[in-house]
Structure 1
Amino acid sequence: MSDFNKDEYLNDLPDMDDLSGQAAPAAASAADGASADSAAAAAGATQEGAAQPAAAQSQENGDSAAADGADKADAADGKADDTLTPLGQAKKEAAEYLEALQRERAEFINFRNRAQKEQDRFRQHGIIDVLTALLPALDDIDRIREHSEMDDSFKAVANKIDKAFEKFGVEKFGEKGEDFDPTKHDAILHKPDPNAEKETVDTVVEAGYRIGDRVIRAARVVVASPQN
């Protein structure tokens, strides 16, 4: 086994200056990379910060343009009014007042027509209620007229009642010999008749009443019908 030579071993070791020179470039490269990343981040933040004020400025410019347009329109209207002569301004105001008056007049006419229709309907309902309540008495008067002699005083009262209902538009209908109409006649019996060519009213049991086209009560009749 050879002897260990201390001096030779120390001479073979690398110089410390060389080691420090190799480590320094590596550290410098790492530092340069970190600096580049920081610079890129700072640049991105700067661009984002610049974009936000630009968008806000654009929105603000749009709002300002809309407000300016409205102000210009109002100013144009005011300028048009200013350019009118006193006579022209008076004519313009007179036209506006006339238009408002015509509109109010049309609304009043519509209201008056509706009120008149409501009044007529209520009036008709009242007449119908009174007529319906007096129908039994009117039927008795008709039976007395048909089957017995009426003295002059009773006949005068019956005629006054008939005229009073005529005054309110009440029409009495139902006569023997007229054609049978199911819309205004209520047939309580159909009687075959060899002489009948079509259905006709043979006997009026109770007269019918109507107001205009509205049937209050259909006439109750006996109908003569052809045998075939």
Structure 2
Amino acid sequence: MADQNDKTPDEPVVNDKRRIDPETGEVRPEPAAPSEDGGTAAVTDPDELIEAEAPDVEVPAGAEAPAGAAEAAAEMAAEGAAGAGVDGAEPLSADDEAILDAASRDLVADMRQDMLRAQAELVNFRRRVERDREANREAVVAEVVRSLLPALDDLALAEKHGDLAEGPMVIVAQKIRGGLDKFGLVQVGEKGEVFDPTMHDALVQLPSADVTVNTVADVIEPGYKIGDRVIRAAKVAVHTPQ
């Protein structure tokens, strides 16, 4: 009786029928099938092999886990540690924050300088456009007035000979001269004024002891200007000092 009580009960026997070896990862050889004469014969057709599902077996305490389970647990632990490292990132140090702050200030300063430079370029562009527009306007007006100068010369000759004293031509002359005056047309070239090569075209030079500088002696053909633009220089005779 004592021998029967001291006898350790039989532990469960587990038959591992898995085709893949969990330790080596290699395919296990096919088990031999029993032959008709009581021996074993190899099964050559996979369809003839029917694998029984392995029963669920409790692993006793203290038993070692399969190598595959240990590797899977290690991978899960590593993934968890990596996720924790991303979520719990360390804050920036004071030096790093100072560098970022300085870089931000420099960027803002550069953008402000670019904005001011762009504004200055826009103002200069508008000024150039206005200046060019005014210059183009004066050029067009000057061209139109230059085409009418022969008519003004005829009116001046007619007036000099007394043909504009009365009659309808007086009104026509007044309208033409009044219209040109609105554009700022001014006659240049008067007898006795100092000779100016930008305003006068000297056709004749007459030495004279009465002058100390070149002086207009007579106006042969009057000149005209609009503002600082000379439409036509006056043709004059000049007294030169002896």
Q: TM-score, normalised by structure 2?
A: 0.48
Q: Distance in 1 between matches of 2:100 and 2:207?
A: 93
* Alpha-carbon offset, residue 115 of structure 1: 0.7
Question: Equivalent residues in 2 for 1:1-228 (5 A)?
Answer: 79-80=97-98, 99=113, 101-150=115-164, 151=166, 153-191=168-206, 199-225=214-240, 228=242
* Alpha-carbon offset, residue 212 of structure 1: 2.9
SS at match of 1:177: coil
Q: Distance in 2 between matches of 1:77 and 1:161?
A: 82
Unaligned runs of 5+ in 2: 1-92
* Alpha-carbon offset, residue 142 of structure 1: 1.1
SS at match of 1:105: helix
Decide whether aligned partners of structure 1 residues 76 and 188 sit closer, same or farther in structure 2, where only a CA change above 3 A counts.
farther
Q: Distance in 2 between matches of 1:207 and 1:193?
A: 23
Unaligned runs of 5+ in 1: 1-74, 85-90
* Alpha-carbon offset, residue 140 of structure 1: 0.7
Instruction: Give the equivalent residue in structure 2 for 1:15.
Output: none
Letter in 1 for 2:171: A
* Alpha-carbon offset, residue 116 of structure 1: 0.9
SS at match of 1:116: helix
SS at match of 1:210: strand
Q: Distance in 2 between matches of 1:204 and 1:78?
A: 85
Q: Distance in 1 between matches of 2:208 and 2:121?
A: 61
SS at match of 1:182: coil
Identity %: 40
Cα RMSD (Å): 3.8
* Alpha-carbon offset, residue 125 of structure 1: 1.4
SS at match of 2:220: strand
Could you list the structure 1 runs, at least 4 aligned residues long, displaced by more than 6 angstroms after superposition: 75-78, 81-84, 91-97
* Alpha-carbon offset, residue 186 of structure 1: 1.6
Decide whether aligned partners of structure 1 residues 168 and 83 sit closer, same or farther in structure 2, where only a CA change above 3 A counts.
same
Decide whether aligned partners of structure 1 residues 78 and 160 sit closer, same or farther in structure 2, where only a CA change above 3 A counts.
farther
Q: Distance in 2 between matches of 1:189 and 1:136?
A: 22
Q: Report which stretch shifted further, 169-178 or 159-168.
A: 159-168
Cα deviation 1:40-78 (Å, max 9, x = unaligned): xxxxxxxxxxxxxxxxxxxxxxxxxxxxxxxxxxx9997
Decide whether aligned partners of structure 1 residues 95 and 215 sit closer, same or farther in structure 2, where only a CA change above 3 A counts.
same
Q: Distance in 2 between matches of 1:96 and 1:199?
A: 61
Q: Distance in 2 between matches of 1:92 and 1:128?
A: 54
Give the structure with the larger helix fraction: 1
Cα deviation 1:76-123 (Å, max 9, x = unaligned): 997348779xxxxxx999877765543332221111011112111211
Decide whether aligned partners of structure 1 residues 196 and 123 sit closer, same or farther in structure 2, where only a CA change above 3 A counts.
same
Cα deviation 1:20-48 (Å, max 9, x = unaligned): xxxxxxxxxxxxxxxxxxxxxxxxxxxxx
* Alpha-carbon offset, residue 176 of structure 1: 2.1
The number of residue pairs the alignment matches comes to 149
